[in-house]
Amino acid sequence: MSEILREAMVAAYQQLQAAGLGTGSSGNLSQRCGGGMLITPTGVGPAELEPSQVVSMSLEGECESGQLLPSSEWHLHAAIYLARPDINAVVHCHSRHATILACTHRPLPAVHYMIAITAMDEIPIAPYATFGTLALAASTAAALGEKGLACLLANHGQVAAGADLSRALRVALEVEELAAIYCGTLAIGGAQVLSPEDMAEVHKGFAHYGQQD
Ligand SMILES: [Zn+2]
């Protein structure tokens, strides 16, 4: 089981890179596994990552011996699993347009109906905290709240989550696309943002649609 999950993580990490969302080895992703998680190791880029190098650890930070060091953002991943039993996979990256917005501390409004994939009408900004810290983990979990599946990290990047890895990856790709669209609208005078009523209809449609895959 864990072998299949490890292979899926390598594939997802490479997909993230291929889609242009990763820069160097700056992205990281994880999957809940048993009572703990599997997470990408620090400093190993997608092209070099082997399934056996994916790190198995508890949500409290205990790693089985003989492994590489986990991503420096493991606190952030663990905090999300501890706060949200519905989330089983987390993707973090510094994708360009999401990061541009995050650097302005500007949340991402409902400029396009696909924002419903995040289960919110606006993608919030987690206040700035130093990378790798418990403070950043706490601000990220708080920004996601009870049902959100994405947030921007001030002056840092984005976090996307889902019930499984392919959904979390899909959310990350959509957040970057929405951010690019929003940046484009800001450049030509600003967007007309969808109303809460419009978005309520979209959320209903998404629920009715069931599997968005
Ligand atoms: Zn980061």
> 177-196, pLDDT tens digit by residue?
999 999 999 999 999 999 99
pLDDT of residue 1: 63
pLDDT of residue 86: 98
**DSSP secondary structure letter of residue 108:** B
Kindly give the distance from the C-alpha atom of residue 168 to the centroid of ligand 1, in angstroms, as a whole number: 16
Q: Is 73 a catalytic residue?
A: yes
Instruction: Output the 3-class SS for 58-86.
Output: CCCCCECCCCCCECCCHHHHHHHHHHCCC
> 166-178, pLDDT tens digit by residue?
999 999 999 999 9
pLDDT of residue 211: 54
- Tokens at 52, concatenated: 């056996």
The residues whose Cβ lies within 5 A of ligand 1, an ion, are 157
Q: Per the residue annotation, which of 60, 73, 122, 197 is the catalytic one?
A: 73
The Cβ of residue 193 has, within 10 Å, a number of other Cβ atoms equal to 17
Question: Contact 157/126 with Cβ under 8 angstroms?
Answer: no
C-alpha to C-alpha distance for 71 and 73, rounded to whole angstroms: 5
* CATH superfamily ID and name for 2-209: Class II aldolase/adducin N-terminal domain (3.40.225.10)
Q: Which residues of the chain have pLDDT under 50?
A: none
C-alpha to C-alpha distance for 5 and 58, rounded to whole angstroms: 16
